[in-house]
Structure 1
Amino acid sequence: MSDNCVRSQDPGLNSGADLKLVKIVGKVEPEAVNCVSAPGGDKTSDVSHGCGLSSSGKQSAEYSVPDDIQGEDAILFYARELDCPHCSARIVSDLKNLPYIADASYNLLTRTLVLIPKEGCSVPDDITDTVRKTVNGYEPDVTVERLEDSNESITTDEGDEKKLFGLDLRNRLITGFVIFVAALPLFYAVQDSMTVRVVSCICFLISYLLSGFEVLTDAFRKIRGSLFSEQMLMTVASLGAVAIGEYPEAVAVMLFYQIGEYFQERAVNRSRASIKALLDICPDRANLETPDGIREIRAADIRIGDRVIVRPGEKVPCDGTVVNGHAGLDTSNLTGESVPRFVSSGDDVYSGFISKDGMITVEARKKASDSAASEIIRLVEKAGERKSGTENFISVFARYYTPAVVALALITALVPPLLFGGVWSVWIERALIFLVVSCPCALVISIPLTYFSGIGAASRYGIMVKGSNYLDALARTGTVFFDKTGTLTRGTFSFAGISSNGTVSDERILQLASSAEHGSAHPVARSVTEEADRRGIAPLKVTDFTEIPGKGIKAVIDGCEVLVGNDGLLHSGNIGIPNLSGSGTVIHVAADGVYLGTLIIADTVKKDSVETVRNLKSLGIESVMLSGDNEKIVASVAAELEIAEYHSSLFPDDKVSLVEERLKQSHCQGKTVVFVGDGINDAPALALADVGMAMGAMGSDAAIEAADAVIMSDEPSKLVTGIRIARKTRTIVMQNIVLALTVKFMLMILGAMGIIGMWFAVFGDVGVMILAVLNSMRMIFRSSSKS
């Protein structure tokens, strides 16, 4: 079937004017999807302005990360042990001020610093030294390494822990805690012995230095750099307690703060390692077949055309084609599918697949670094750079929260004694409680960690989400638009039959149609020509061939003017068409103005499509089916899938208009719109929706590039899984926000009223920080239990 005849059944593929929209390089021309450029470079649908709400999908992505973030010009650095949110924010700010840098960002979880050079500006050769100097100006102990390849995978391995007084942090805290507990009864029980009191104070000093020496040095260094840090706040709070004679409280503040930091760092590092394990799907070694036998090499050294041996239990090291052997492969690393896929000679396989039984020889068609698995790992690692609205809010909130709480501390310390005759020591101690709870670390660390964990968890189910903004948008999905063919249906067409008017034989109708469609590679066309070949019907010579956009083909065959196409093609020639029962794609055939018959091409619904629609409905999400097929076919599929709303006979711009209209409604209700398609033919609609999701993208670089989220398998049910993961992630984020702010505000209120002391305040603040991080890690445990 010619492309245009295929388009006659699916106008979504038609029109040369429309096809220019499909520029598959990862972006769609803004004019094609009716988008405008908003301040700051946002790509914003004009439909989002009607109710004062913004799209949570595209806009956050464009604002947080320039389009060329993954381009060849992006400069990446790994900052080992740069875990301070305040310091990293100042470092990014300083780097943005470099004359040749357009933008900069830092991912706290992957410890990746990304610089985007200005267009037309050359980057100095000493850029690495400049970055190191900037980073070490705030954090002297941080090691900065340049990742020469912007696609290089990011490691999270740590070096040896720094020691002070011959002890690592863990042993310093244990020793300091033991000394602190031993000194408490001496300090409180024996009040009249100067010697005992001096001994207890010396013990407090030792405990204070063991636990807080690093904090003190960091605080004074950052004060010199005019950096308002949590170390400075803890230093002021503890020294303030010393000034009013509350030595145990001074030690407790520093000791419990460092204990909290220790457990937080361990939790975050564990989450980093867990996420890395989730993404550890590519093997390090490969068995290369050579004339001299099998030789083990690094997977990274595989070249295109090399042949590698994959034995039972081993991972496929590269994308390639099986040239010998057969095996059952576990594809769950990439697709999330638990059912083994059996492959033999001629079948494509991908890096990360695991051979469960059988040995195969694979010929590499991509380098290991260019494999689908490597692309997944890179995109998931870089997904943290596309911030959600919540993350951006927390960043702004943190910027103002700490100064505001410090201001409240000053007011608490000064106003009651000066204006109301309060006791200075009492109100200073209460003010110090404000300093103890003034750092929003529980939010600054746990919120990005939750989103990153959610993205990592989704990847284990074969769902690749390109940013936390898209995960956030998925959580608020109100409507899902499905392209019918290949998404809800299999897209594998088979010849179902011929309906003839009785004037000519079925073979003659099939011969005319297959002659017109001869040479087309489209699945519908192949089903016609393959049926003709199966019946031994040879194609006829075609002359005066004309494609009619959106309708079909007009050609002269054996001196007859033959029309092969849809209802519209025959109606344009004033040719009557009988009403046909049944479902399936129809291709009408007419000759010299007379209707001859209709070819019926069948497409079957995927086995999990009905379940997907039902599950979406149970989640309160409306499903809408779009198709270029005629009304009868689409209505039949919609009825089978229990979809109430469907639209037929659509062109690409029709799909865009429908998505645009629904965006207006959904945004005003605080909900988002998801479009699920093949990632290529539906590019304009994918670009316009809050989340454009491509399905069945295994091996399709274009689909991965075009979409905001990708389902690697052909299972629409994975959409439901992705939405559930997104909602779970969103729930944990909100839990952490409510938990952290509630506890902090309660501590401030109770502290101002004199009900709690600094001990309780620091213990509560440290506790909520650890709880928030542990709560964030639930997404990782959820994914790990799945695997």
Structure 2
Amino acid sequence: MMEEKALQNSKETYRLQGLSCTNCAAKFEKNIRDIQTVNEVQLNFGASKITVYGEATVEQLEAAGAFDGIKVIPEKQKRDVEQKIPFWQKRENRNTMISLFFLLLGYISVYRYDEEYFPAILLFGVSIIVGGYPLFKVGIKNLFKLEFDMKTLMTVAIIGAAIIGEWGEGAVVVFLFALSEALEGYSMDKARESIRSLLDIAPKKATVRRGTEEFELDVEDIRINDILLIKPGQKIAMDGEVVSGQSSINQSTITGESIPVLKVVGDEVFAGTLNEEGALEVRVTKRVEDTTIAKIIHLVEEAQAERAPTQAFIDKFAKYYTPAIMVIALLIVLIPPLFLGGDWSEWIYRGLAVLVVGCPCALVISTPVAIVTAIGNAAKMGVLIKGGIHLEEAGRLNVIAFDKTGTLTQGTPEVTDILTFNGRAEEEIFGISMAIEKYSQHPLASAVMRKAEQQGISQADYHAEDFQSITGKGAKATIQNKTYFIGSPSLFDELMVVSPGINEQIKDLQTQGKTVMLVGTGEHIIGLIAVADQVRESSKRVLQQLESIGIKKTIMLTGDNMATGQAIGKLVGINEVKAALLPQDKLEAIKSLREEYGKVAMVGDGVNDAPALASATVGIAMGGAGTDTALETADIALMADDLEKLPYTIKLSRKALAIIKQNILLALGLKVLALLLIIPGWLTLWMAILADMGATVIVIVNSLRLLKVRK
């Protein structure tokens, strides 16, 4: 335990520049792990970040990544010091263009003279050295260490081409490989822009009032309880509570909502949101590292670090694939000349082509680029997907279960009816109910409290003692030396025999979609309160959309009675209703659905439905913005209290899953086709590298299509 604590204390996180390829990332991680003072390393390729446990300087880390020119920047360092180098100004890309220049000069010489012309060979040689130096530096080291990756394959292939006199083709291979690396780096940068744009959402400075003084501070220097002064048109720099003024706030950056939300005194506001019209004073409630946008960024980056099942399989497959390609190439070089009378030069050439076409670049990047793009796009739309595994699982869902209150309904129930018995007055029923419900957290309790306050009933007149919650059924307390109960009809069925007349009234109200609460002692019912929750306008539309995109079944899991559940279910068009469920019953219902249908999602508020959310294949929480429980419990959080984000999430996940499969088939299919063309000698070296580069580019462009998926 002490060791774990010490490890956490020595943790440092860094952002990386120049991390473009998964193989380079793996090598960089291994090099850092070899530093004696480093205990553990976690590299996040998608977010371009690394966490180091132990002691290591920036200089040591950059030395570990010197083979690929990786720059290391402490995460706490201000981001505006990071240099964003344009694509054509990067040294490796300039070298690629210089390599192309000498390559073209070489082919002009060949055209005018012949392939044996010494200046042509010299020009091709310069092209190979200029374009391939970073590649050879790593590839030759790997060769001596017997570490076989794509740079080892390419180094052997290019040196082999030069040895057998194919200088021109060797130079073409170098240029195309360098171009492929540049395009891969560019595309990964584009995919990572979704995170970078999140990082730039919140302002870096804000105007603060402390006492009577006003001044501008960096957000890192702002303290809890400081007062932010926010003018119209300004972005809010920190999470806080409005203490003065009112205004419409555009929260689209956090929740994805397109319509601004009116904020008044006492309302919560988030860092990175835009104040549209009025002047506000906001009391800071969270430090900069604890704001909602900071949590979203952290969770998105962690999500991109978590490997999806497909990615884990591909990484394992690639580990054995590269050495296998080396063995196949060697057999192609040796067997025909030794046993079939083949020409050595011809079969060495074909073996080199196998090395080139066997480069696993496209295969290795096929999954991570799609996952990074999809998770980043979802975050921009106000949907937080907490890992590639959850993205894939959401794409395979067959059934979606919904909580009723706050999910299919608005979650703000109102009292619609009150009936009194045994000569009791309405005021007394409300007073007793209010006194008990004051201690309850249930949504129905707030409806009773609001109605009692509207009736002008004072809490001072009714005081409850010995409050006790009765899980899933209601509550009891002592008022004026007498024990009173408030709760569901099932609670009173356990306490007494309910008269047929009252039962008839209960059923009548329940068939109207109303929830009934009874108030009474252990012997008599003294009142009945009916409460109705308004169905969300979007619920029916969302359920229709889910059916149209292939969800086989929708089911409501509610703690409410069956009559109310069925009334709401019929209104929204849900397939099945399971009612009168306690939290453990919802958990069992999810387990049963998983056994019957396989992949099942649970949609709830992330608090009352925590066990069911955790047990489902994918737990989806509503209204994650500012709700720590929802962010921590669920696999996917819909940041706005907006059910319409759900079909978009399923659509994006299914699209991502389809694109990952397409990428793998494309990468493997093109390689198999190219390998088959090598056997009869129809595939040249430059065609092989073109096939490999083509596969990489196709996979990347295909993955970037996920940026176009919209609500």
TM-score by length of 1: 0.82
CA spacing shift, 1:351–1:730, aligned 2, 3 Å = same
* Mapping of residues 129-528 of structure 1, within 5 Å: 132=61, 135-136=64-65, 139=67, 141-147=69-75, 157-158=82-83, 168-187=91-110, 190-191=113-114, 197-290=117-210, 294-501=214-421, 503-520=423-440, 522-528=442-448
Tell me if the contact between 2:169 and 2:686 (Cα under 8 Å) persists in the aligned partners. yes
Tell me if the contact between 1:310 and 1:361 (Cα under 8 Å) persists in the aligned partners. yes
* Mapping of residues 602-751 of structure 1, within 5 Å: 602-621=532-551, 622-667=553-598, 672-751=599-678
- Cα distance in 2 for partners of 1:162, 1:355 equals 35
Q: Does 1:564 find its partner at 2:486?
A: yes
Tell me what 1:578 maps to. 503
Query: What letter matches 2:675 in structure 1?
Result: M
- Cα distance in 2 for partners of 1:303, 1:558 equals 47
Tell me if the contact between 2:621 and 2:636 (Cα under 8 Å) persists in the aligned partners. yes
Query: What letter matches 2:45 in structure 1?
Result: L
Greater alpha carbon shift after TM alignment, 223-232 vs 210-219: 223-232
* Shift in Å, 1:651: 1.3
Higher relative contact order (CA 8 A, sep 6+): 1
TM-score by length of 2: 0.90
* Shift in Å, 1:160: 6.3
Tell me what 1:111 maps to. 48
- Cα distance in 2 for partners of 1:597, 1:759 equals 87
> Which of the residues 515, 521, 525 maps onto 1:595?
525
1:302-344 CA distances to partner (integer Å, 9 max, x unpaired)? Answer: 1111111222222110111112222211110001000111112
* Shift in Å, 1:628: 1.0
CA spacing shift, 1:548–1:253, aligned 2, 3 Å = closer
Tell me if the contact between 1:153 and 1:377 (Cα under 8 Å) persists in the aligned partners. no
- Cα distance in 1 for partners of 2:180, 2:58 equals 34
* Shift in Å, 1:504: 4.2
1:578-604 CA distances to partner (integer Å, 9 max, x unpaired)? Answer: 223222221113357343441101211
Tell me if the contact between 2:47 and 2:305 (Cα under 8 Å) persists in the aligned partners. no
1:38-80 CA distances to partner (integer Å, 9 max, x unpaired)? Answer: xxxxxxxxxxxxxxxxxxxxxxxxxxxxx99x97775434444
Tell me if the contact between 1:319 and 1:351 (Cα under 8 Å) persists in the aligned partners. yes
- Cα distance in 1 for partners of 2:465, 2:437 equals 13
Tell me if the contact between 1:674 and 1:691 (Cα under 8 Å) persists in the aligned partners. yes
Q: What secondary structure, in the 3-state scheme, does the structure 2 residue paired with 1:273 have?
A: helix
1:264-291 CA distances to partner (integer Å, 9 max, x unpaired)? Answer: 2222223333541255321112122355
Tell me if the contact between 2:366 and 2:664 (Cα under 8 Å) persists in the aligned partners. no
* Mapping of residues 26-45 of structure 1, within 5 Å: none
Tell me if the contact between 1:82 and 1:139 (Cα under 8 Å) persists in the aligned partners. no
> Which of the residues 692, 699, 703 maps onto 1:772?
699
Tell me what 1:29 maps to. none
Q: What secondary structure, in the 3-state scheme, does the structure 1 residue paired with 2:236 have?
A: coil
Identity of aligned residues (%): 31
Greater alpha carbon shift after TM alignment, 691-700 vs 591-600: 591-600
* Mapping of residues 85-124 of structure 1, within 5 Å: 85-92=22-29, 104-115=41-52, 123=54
Tell me if the contact between 1:161 and 1:168 (Cα under 8 Å) persists in the aligned partners. no
Q: Does 1:76 find its partner at 2:9?
A: no
- Cα distance in 2 for partners of 1:497, 1:73 equals 61
- Cα distance in 1 for partners of 2:481, 2:19 equals 78
- Cα distance in 1 for partners of 2:102, 2:468 equals 92
- Cα distance in 2 for partners of 1:659, 1:110 equals 34
* Shift in Å, 1:382: 1.8
Q: What secondary structure, in the 3-state scheme, does the structure 2 residue paired with 1:110 have?
A: coil
Tell me if the contact between 2:20 and 2:184 (Cα under 8 Å) persists in the aligned partners. no
* Mapping of residues 545-564 of structure 1, within 5 Å: 548-554=470-476, 562-564=484-486
Tell me if the contact between 1:625 and 1:646 (Cα under 8 Å) persists in the aligned partners. yes
Tell me if the contact between 1:482 and 1:624 (Cα under 8 Å) persists in the aligned partners. yes
CA spacing shift, 1:277–1:144, aligned 2, 3 Å = closer
- Cα distance in 2 for partners of 1:298, 1:547 equals 47
CA spacing shift, 1:760–1:545, aligned 2, 3 Å = closer
Tell me what 1:4 maps to. none
Q: What secondary structure, in the 3-state scheme, does the structure 2 residue paired with 1:361 have?
A: strand
- Cα distance in 2 for partners of 1:374, 1:715 equals 21
Query: What letter matches 2:581 in structure 1?
Result: L
CA spacing shift, 1:318–1:556, aligned 2, 3 Å = closer
Q: Where does structure 1 lack aligned partners over 5 or more consecutive residues? A: 1-66, 118-122
CA spacing shift, 1:131–1:444, aligned 2, 3 Å = farther
Q: What secondary structure, in the 3-state scheme, does the structure 2 residue paired with 1:357 have?
A: coil
Tell me if the contact between 1:466 and 1:709 (Cα under 8 Å) persists in the aligned partners. yes
Q: What secondary structure, in the 3-state scheme, does the structure 1 residue paired with 2:417 have?
A: strand
- Cα distance in 1 for partners of 2:33, 2:204 equals 37
CA spacing shift, 1:650–1:345, aligned 2, 3 Å = same
- Cα distance in 1 for partners of 2:38, 2:515 equals 54
Tell me if the contact between 2:32 and 2:61 (Cα under 8 Å) persists in the aligned partners. no
* Shift in Å, 1:436: 0.6
CA spacing shift, 1:559–1:169, aligned 2, 3 Å = closer
Q: What secondary structure, in the 3-state scheme, does the structure 1 residue paired with 2:673 have?
A: helix
Tell me if the contact between 2:439 and 2:467 (Cα under 8 Å) persists in the aligned partners. no
Query: What letter matches 2:109 in structure 1?
Result: L
- Cα distance in 1 for partners of 2:454, 2:337 equals 99
- Cα distance in 1 for partners of 2:79, 2:610 equals 30
- Cα distance in 2 for partners of 1:185, 1:98 equals 49
Q: What secondary structure, in the 3-state scheme, does the structure 2 residue paired with 1:139 have?
A: helix
- Cα distance in 1 for partners of 2:692, 2:41 equals 31
Tell me if the contact between 2:62 and 2:71 (Cα under 8 Å) persists in the aligned partners. no
CA spacing shift, 1:402–1:779, aligned 2, 3 Å = same
Q: How many residues matched?
A: 696
* Shift in Å, 1:776: 2.0
- Cα distance in 2 for partners of 1:559, 1:158 equals 73
Tell me if the contact between 1:585 and 1:629 (Cα under 8 Å) persists in the aligned partners. yes
Q: Where does structure 2 lack aligned partners over 5 or more consecutive residues? A: none
